[in-house]
Structure 1
């Protein structure tokens, strides 16, 4: 039953639950807590998938006369029957595949992203002019581009990049707002949060994964950066700057100020403020997502496994 329960929880947390949360509007008023909830769901889904595989593996080893597990396939098949034994083996192999894909995905995303950023950082250092401003981490790189554009390249050697078009189009406080937006990404290392969800998304097979979590987190980290810019310059300068830079395209691996979520973000700036009540509820839900499956399924199974191996 533990294996079945873990498998059901993993499927729910990788499909229906993210789909329902992605349709909700309350995360717009509690972006930080919503990110924590998304992280809890992703972590619980991965842990549940692994726990299902481990629980199934323990069932494949029937206890011998001394109470210790034995690796005799014949006895496992005799106890479970061919259909159930085959299903257990398939799920266990699938769990191993997901684990391997997760490790490979984390390494692949991290290496590829850092290579792209390093290459683009070299390009903007060569062709862009350097300028230092207050609160600008590592200074600015100004590109001679007529289109309004602003983005950041996170990392140890981070860069904030804006175009001449943005500087010529935006007023002083609008420029400050857009720079504070990008610096907020760099300070909080929002790129690492995005990398984790990208790796988890790539690790799960196509028939069980969805893009809801990845797309939602992309929006939420932009909302957090928007909130930092609002605290520094107010909502109106930021809204004008976002509209001006909405069509600007940033390289892969960068975090751009504009993009397809601009309309949602600008509307949010004129809507209701963030809610501490919603944030508290989201934090409580995140804790429940991690704690309840562990208490309900994992502890009884771990106790049984401990008894089995120490018998």
Structure 2
């Protein structure tokens, strides 16, 4: 029963729940709480998948005459070869999913940092420092780099040696207030380390098979991350300068591994600036839902199973 409950919970958290949440409109008014809810769903889905596999495979290690768990072949005669092979296969698949998750996390982290390091080196080589005459809002900022390009573009490179990169086209097209908004947006990404949240979701997305995973969750989290940075810029410059700055930089394409102010989500974000403000009630509800997603399945399903394991291994 524990294995069946874990399987059903994992299927819900991988399929219908993310699909419904990705189509919902309320996260636009509670982006921070929505990110927490997405994180809770992802963690609960992974834990449920692991728990389902381990709950099934635990039948291979029932107590022997001495009260100790038997070896993996000890239940072959009891279960029969077909059922025993099924349990061994489930155990192997569970371990494989865990290994894929670890490998995907390492690959995403290494590849992302390698790209950022290479691009940071190129930016430092070809960029110029902002001057007080051309960009007062950028002056005396050691992390800002200006590229000789006419395309309006602004993005950041997170990390230990972070950079905020703007082009000459951005400086020439944006007013001081708009430039302040766009810089506040990028600095919010760096300050809150939004890149780490995206890395975690990217690793989970890469670890699961294609017929299971969905790009809607990754897209939704990327949008929410941009909304969080927009909220920080909104407090610094106001909605009108931010909206104009986003529209100006909308067509700019940032390199892989960077977080850009523009992009395909610009229309949604600009419309949001003219809509209703963030809702504390929606945020509180989302936080409660996130806690329920993690806590309630643990109380209802995991605790009885952990009690059985404690009895089995004499812990």
TM-score, normalized by length of structure 2? Answer: 0.94
**How much has 1:83 moved relative to structure 2?**
4.6
Q: Contact 1:131–1:139 at 8 Å: present in 2 too?
A: no
Aligned equivalent of 1:70: 70
Task: Give unmatched runs, 5+ long, in structure 1.
Answer: none
Aligned equivalent of 2:207: 203
Aligned equivalent of 2:39: 39
Say which of 241, 246, 266 aligns to 1:237: 241
Pair 1:213-2:217 in alignment: yes
1:217-228, aligned counterparts within 5 Å? 217-228=221-232
Q: Contact 1:61–1:72 at 8 Å: present in 2 too?
A: yes
Measured in 1, the distance between the counterparts of 2:87 and 2:141 equals 53
Task: Give unmatched runs, 5+ long, in structure 2.
Answer: 132-136
Q: Contact 1:138–1:158 at 8 Å: present in 2 too?
A: no
Say which of 255, 260, 267 aligns to 1:263: 267
Measured in 2, the distance between the counterparts of 1:137 and 1:183 equals 11
Pair 1:20-2:24 in alignment: no
Measured in 2, the distance between the counterparts of 1:46 and 1:72 equals 25
1:82 and 1:123, CA in 2 relative to 1: closer, same or farther beyond 3 A?
A: same
**How much has 1:43 moved relative to structure 2?**
0.6
Measured in 1, the distance between the counterparts of 2:72 and 2:159 equals 51
Measured in 1, the distance between the counterparts of 2:269 and 2:139 equals 23
Question: Residue deviations 1:67-113, cap 9 Å, x none?
Answer: 3221153x524433445434333322221111001111111111110
Q: Contact 1:37–1:282 at 8 Å: present in 2 too?
A: yes
SS in 2 for 1:60: helix
Identify the range of structure 1 (115-124 vs 58-67) with the bigger mean alpha-carbon deviation. 58-67
Measured in 1, the distance between the counterparts of 2:140 and 2:272 equals 26
SS in 2 for 1:258: coil
Task: Report the RMSD for the aligned CA atoms in angstroms.
Answer: 1.7
Aligned equivalent of 2:61: 61
Q: Contact 1:137–1:183 at 8 Å: present in 2 too?
A: no
Identify the range of structure 1 (246-255 vs 206-215) with the bigger mean alpha-carbon deviation. 206-215
Q: Contact 2:57–2:90 at 8 Å: present in 1 too?
A: no
Q: Give the length in aligned residue pairs.
A: 310
**How much has 1:213 moved relative to structure 2?**
1.5
TM-score, normalized by length of structure 1? Answer: 0.95
**How much has 1:214 moved relative to structure 2?**
1.0
Pair 1:189-2:193 in alignment: yes
**How much has 1:64 moved relative to structure 2?**
1.5
After superposing on structure 2, the runs of 4+ consecutive aligned residues of structure 1 that deviate more than 6 Å are 134-137
